[in-house]
Amino acid sequence: MKPENEAKLAKIKKISGILQWICKSFLVFCVYIWGDMTWYLVSWRGAMPGMRPGIGHAVYWLDFCGVEFKAYDLSDRDRVMVGIFVLLISAVAFNGGYQLHRLFGYYSRGEVFTAESAGQIRKCGMAYVLLGVVKFAWMLVQRFIANAQNKEPTDWPSTVVIGLVIVAISWIMEMAAEMREEQDLIV
């Protein structure tokens, strides 16, 4: 390998290692958010409508995916629905972060144009498609939540399309990696 290419590969390995650590931090953040939101919903279980939090409580408004409501106004059914979607979105985000972590792991080992790394890109694209599906489901479910007001336009169609484009790119990369492997065997 040329010295310039070795230097570029070393940069790729170094940057990928840093990005892999960022992904690990994101995974911890996803677990923290899920736990924090679950505790928040459960902690207001016994609160009465109209009751305001005391000085010990930091926030009583919940803003989740563009829908803002008061946690103490939620019925048990609404709490379960919000809890399920907090879990779903956290799980989908965790999965996407995990797939990126694995992809940067391949890159940090110098496995850039391989079928395995293309497969990881496909898994990242599928995680993005899944995020769009969960956003669409949240858009439908928010109508059932008491006092829910959506402040943001929904972007689930673009999320699904971008995920499908990433899947298509990964398919092309996988085919190119297979062609390269065949060419390396011939030479």
Q: Within 13 Å, how many C-alpha atoms sit on residue 36's CB side?
A: 11
Asked if residues 93 and 152 have their Cβ atoms less than 8 Å apart, the reply is: no
pLDDT in tens, the chain (187 residues): 788 888 998 999 999 999 999 999 999 988 887 777 666 665 555 444 444 444 334 344 555 556 666 666 667 777 777 778 778 888 888 999 999 999 999 999 988 888 889 999 999 999 999 988 988 887 777 766 755 555 666 677 888 999 999 999 999 998 988 888 888 777 5
Percentage helix, strand, coil for the chain under 3-state DSSP, each rounded to 5: 75, 5, 20
User: What span, in angstroms and rounded, lies between the C-alpha atoms of 61 and 53?
Assistant: 10
- Quote the DSSP letter at residue 52: P
Give the pLDDT confidence score for residue 151 in this predicted structure: 61
Q: What is the DSSP letter of 63?
A: E
Q: Which residues contact 110 (CB under 8 A, 6 or more apart)?
A: 9, 12, 13
Which helix (H) or strand (E) covers residue 69, if one does? strand 67-70
74: amino acid identity, one letter: L
